Amino acid sequence: MRQVGMNGRGLGCGCLGCGGGTLLVLALLGGLAWFMVIQPARNFLAGLSQPAQTQTQPQTGAQSSGGTAPGAAANAPLTRAEVQRFVRVRREVRNALGSSFTGVQQVWTDIQNGQSPNVLQMMAVLRNAGSSVGAARQAQAAALAKEGMSPERYAQVRAAVNRALGLPTVDFAQAAQALQNGQLPDLSSTVQAGGGPDRALVEPFRRELSATAAAGLLGL
């Protein structure tokens, strides 16, 4: 019969005792999950919500020229003026994202081609955009104030524009929130048919709107 060493340790028993190796592996995996998943998600969400406390009120002049009042109906019909404002806000967001937009654009292209992103791809995007998403959010808040459009209405216009253009729907910001809450995010995307009553409103801006649509992955 095979003898066990004098210290009584068998296979897998190290200085931490039997089961200590397993605990060490679990601890390492937990640390990797924190630094590679949870912490980047938190940093991204912190940058995304940064300007919320300092956001300025829409300018009176912008509202008098057809801006969106804070109490506007949730599902009010889309107007040409709102599409124009949306385009201008998106330009500011795109400029503020800088070089990090390239990685976002690549994932967006894959989604458009029918490929569903995985968590690793999402985290790579969030890490790359983490340093610039705060600046992009601030640029968005400033542009919204200038255009007289509320964040809520901007989100509604973005959804209407995406529907009219037939763009897929997926939001990494919501996925990051799920990860922060310890939940597995839903990264499935829905490719919309496009068209509808708003198509004529967005068609003149199709090229630019399609080029900046990747910012929507970041909730911008």
**DSSP symbols for 46-109:** HHHTGGGGTPPPPPHHHHHTT---TT--TTPPP-HHHHHHHHHHHHHHHHHHGGGHHHHHHHHH
How many other C-beta atoms lie within 10 A of the C-beta of residue 95? 13
What is the dihedral angle through the alpha carbons of 20, 23, 28, 34, rounded to the nearest 10 degrees?
-150
pLDDT at 60: 38
185, two tokens: 């995010």
pLDDT at 177: 76
Instruction: Give CA separation, 32 vs 3, 22, 39, 185, 203, in Å.
Output: 38, 15, 10, 18, 46
68, 153 in Cβ contact below 8 A?
Answer: yes
80, 198 in Cβ contact below 8 A?
Answer: no
Residue type, 9: R
pLDDT at 46: 62
pLDDT at 203: 94
pLDDT at 96: 94
Beta bridge partners of residue 45, listed in sequence order: none
The rounded distance, in Å, linking the Cα atoms of 161 and 159 is 5
pLDDT (tens digit per residue) in 145-168: 999 999 999 999 999 999 999 888
What is the biggest distance separating any 2 CA atoms in the chain, rounded to whole angstroms? 92
165, two tokens: 């253009």
Instruction: Give CA separation, 211 vs 3, 172, 207, in Å.
Output: 70, 18, 6
- Sign (positive or negative) of CA dihedral 37, 43, 45, 48: negative
How many other C-beta atoms lie within 10 A of the C-beta of residue 31? 10
pLDDT at 93: 95
Beta bridge partners of residue 13, listed in sequence order: 18
Digitized pLDDT (tens) for each residue of the chain, 220 residues in all: 555 444 444 444 545 454 554 444 333 333 334 434 555 556 555 655 655 433 334 443 444 344 444 445 567 899 999 999 999 999 999 999 998 898 889 888 888 888 888 877 887 877 777 778 889 989 999 999 999 999 999 999 999 999 999 888 777 777 777 777 777 777 776 656 677 889 999 999 999 999 999 998 888 9
Predicted TM-score (pTM) of this structure: 0.69
pLDDT at 72: 52
How many other C-beta atoms lie within 10 A of the C-beta of residue 153? 22
pLDDT at 190: 64
The DSSP bridge pattern shows strands 17-18 and 13-14 to be: antiparallel
